[in-house]
Amino acid sequence: METTPVLSGLHLWARDIERTVAFYRAVGLEIDDPFEGEFVNATLANGLSLAIGSYPLTHRYDPSFVPPTGSKGAVALQFDLESRPAVDEMYQHLTSAGHAGHLAPIDAFWGSRYAEVSDPDGNVVGFHSPREAR
């Protein structure tokens, strides 16, 4: 391969795009309004793109698309937060809004405060504080 691929973003499929958009807005992302209720895009602070598309939209360009089954997604998104208390606050904010907590805040072995919440499609969303020396 002559060129090195550069990750420009992530694209998630959503069963219910409105619920998924509401979740990521609750996380604090600025997300465009849905395009005909089927697609949204957020440009993250580091320039990456987070795109969310509906199942029907995906079927339009990929007729062989098979929606994921079960309640757990195959993706884990990771977000950095500014402090250890911010991890606890984000977890509390999202679980109080009815989103499923996957892993309550812990002092992780790698030196971060860390927690996970599941988005409406079962994708794990992790929140890290900066690492502290152990």
The mean pLDDT values, 10 residues at a time, for the chain of 134 residues are: 72 90 93 82 88 88 80 78 95 96 92 92 90 77
Domain 72-134 has CATH 3.10.180.10: yes
CB atoms within 10 A of CB 61: 8
Query: Which residues are CB-neighbours of 54 under 8 A, at least 6 positions away?
Result: 13, 14, 17, 37, 38, 39
Q: Can you give the pLDDT at residue 113?
A: 94
Question: pTM score, two decimals?
Answer: 0.79
Domain ranges of the chain: 1-64, 72-134
Which residue type does 134 have? R
Question: What is residue 3's predicted lDDT score, i.e. its pLDDT?
Answer: 62
Select the CATH number that applies to the domain covering 1-64 from these four: 3.40.50.12780, 3.40.50.720, 3.10.180.10, 3.40.50.970: 3.10.180.10
Same topology between domain 1-64 and domain 72-134? yes
